[in-house]
C-alpha cells in the first residue's frame, strides 16, 4: 500500500493509499495536497427539499484544485441562541468549482451542529478544515461503473459521477430513498453528460422496492447483464452488506465504499472513528478519517463479535 504524506500545521499526515488503478495524472495530483483552515464566505445556502440543504462557499484559496472525490472537510458550525456545537462537523464534498475557490456541500439537518449550520445566511463566514481523507479509484479507461447511493450518501459520490461522466464512462445508477420526495436524481447526476450516460434505477421505502429482498436480485441482474469495471456505494450499511454478498460472484470488479462514521478530530488522533477491516485475513482496526474514508467494500467487517 502506497502512502502519500501531507502536512497540517507541521505534522505529517498520511493521506491514504494512492490507488494503483488511478490514472497517473490524478494520482500525482492527489499525492501533494495540504490540509489547511479556510475562512469562507457563504455564496448560497438554501433548502433542496424537506430534508436536505445545499451550501456553496467561497474560500480564501483555490481549494477546488486540491479537493478530490471522496474527501471531506471539517466544518466549524456557528453558535446560535439554541445550539452551541463544540466539535467540528465532518462533511463530504458535494462539488467544487467552476471557480477554483468554490466548494459545495449537501447535508441533512439531523442534530445540534447541522441545525446551527442551517441558520447561516448568505454573506456570512464559515471556517472549514481540509481536504481530509483519501479518494475513490477511477480508471478513465474503464467502460462502465455502478453507483449505489442512499440518502445523503449521494453527496459523497456526486463528484465521482462528474469525473466518470467527463471521461465518457457509462453509469449504472441505483438510487434509494425513503420516498420519491426525498430522491435527488438531478442533484446527483447534475451535468448533461452524466444524465446522458446514466442508466438510472430508483427504489423507495414507500413501495418496498428498496428492501434488501427486492433490491438484491435487481442488482445481481444488472451486474450479470452488463460488464462493470467498478461498483461504489455510500450512505447505507445494509447496502454495503448487500454488495458484499453480490460481489462474491464478481471478483474482477473493483468495489469501494465511502464510510460514514462519527468523528471528533477528523485527523486520526482521537480514534473515535475506528472500524474493523479484514485485509486478506489480517483483521485490523483502522481510522475512517485517516486511512479512509474510502475502503474496499470486501475489506469491511460487517458485524464485530467482541465475545
Q: Which residues are annotated as a binding site for [2Fe-2S] cluster?
A: 265, 270, 273, 289
- Known binding-site positions: 89-92, 113-114, 265, 270, 273, 289
Region for residue 9 given its phi and psi (left: phi exceeds 0; alpha: psi -120 to 50; beta: otherwise): left
Alpha-carbon torsion angle 212, 214, 220, 225, nearest 10: -150
Say how far apart CA 157 and CA 118 lie, in whole Å: 22
- DSSP state letter for 64: G
CB atoms < 10 A from the CB of 121, how many? 7
At residue 101, the 3 state secondary structure works out as coil
DSSP run (H or E) holding 163: helix 153-166
CB 293 within 8 A of CB 68: no
* Cβ(154)–Cβ(175) below 8 Å: yes
DSSP notation for 179-241: SGGG--HHHHH-SHHHHHHEEEEEEETTTTTTSHHHHHHHHHHHHHHS--SEEEEES-HHHHH
Task: Report helix, strand or coil for 27.
Answer: helix
Give the list of residues 6+ apart from residue 205 with CB closer than 8 angstroms, or none.
Answer: 177, 178, 179, 211
Binding site per annotation, positions for FAD: 89-92, 113-114
Amino acid at each position: 500500500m502506497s502512502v502519500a504524506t501531507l502536512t497540517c500545521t507541521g505534522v505529517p499526515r498520511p493521506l491514504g493509499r494512492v490507488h494503483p488503478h488511478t490514472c497517473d495524472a490524478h494520482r500525482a495530483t492527489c499525492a501533494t495536497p495540504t490540509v489547511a483552515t479556510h475562512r469562507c464566505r457563504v455564496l448560497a445556502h438554501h433548502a433542496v427539499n424537506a430534508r436536505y440543504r445545499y451550501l456553496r462557499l467561497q474560500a480564501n484559496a483555490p481549494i477546488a484544485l486540491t479537493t478530490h472525490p471522496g474527501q471531506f472537510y471539517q466544518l466549524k458550525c456557528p453558535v446560535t441562541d439554541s445550539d452551541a456545537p463544540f466539535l467540528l462537523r465532518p462533511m463530504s464534498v458535494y462539488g467544487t468549482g467552476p471557480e477554483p475557490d468554490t466548494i459545495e456541500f449537501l447535508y441533512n439537518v439531523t442534530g445540534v451542529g447541522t441545525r446551527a449550520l442551517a441558520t447561516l445566511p448568505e454573506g456570512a463566514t464559515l471556517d472549514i478544515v481540509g481536504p481530509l481523507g483519501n479518494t475513490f479509484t477511477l480508471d478513465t479507461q474503464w467502460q462502465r461503473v455502478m453507483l449505489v447511493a442512499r440518502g445523503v450518501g449521494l453527496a459523497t459520490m456526486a463528484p465521482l459521477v462528474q469525473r466518470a461522466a467527463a471521461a465518457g464512462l457509462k453509469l449504472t445508477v441505483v438510487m434509494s430513498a425513503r420516498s420519491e420526495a426525498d430522491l435527488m436524481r438531478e442533484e446527483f447526476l447534475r451535468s448533461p453528460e452524466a444524465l446522458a450516460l446514466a442508466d438510472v434505477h430508483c427504489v423507495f421505502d414507500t413501495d418496498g422496492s428498496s428492501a434488501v429482498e427486492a433490491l438484491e436480485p435487481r442488482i445481481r441482474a444488472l451486474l450479470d447483464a452488463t460488464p462493470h469495471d467498478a461498483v461504489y456505494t455510500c450512505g447505507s450499511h445494509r447496502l454495503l452488506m448487500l454488495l458484499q454478498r453480490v460481489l462474491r460472484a464478481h471478483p474482477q470488479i473493483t468495489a469501494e465504499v465511502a464510510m460514514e462514521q462519527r468523528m471528533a478530530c477528523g485527523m486520526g488522533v482521537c480514534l473515535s472513528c475506528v472500524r474493523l477491516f479484514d485485509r486478506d485475513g489480517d483483521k485490523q482496526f483502522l481510522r475512517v478519517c485517516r486511512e479512509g474514508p474510502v475502503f474496499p467494500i470486501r475489506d469491511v467487517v460487517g458485524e464485530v463479535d467482541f465475545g
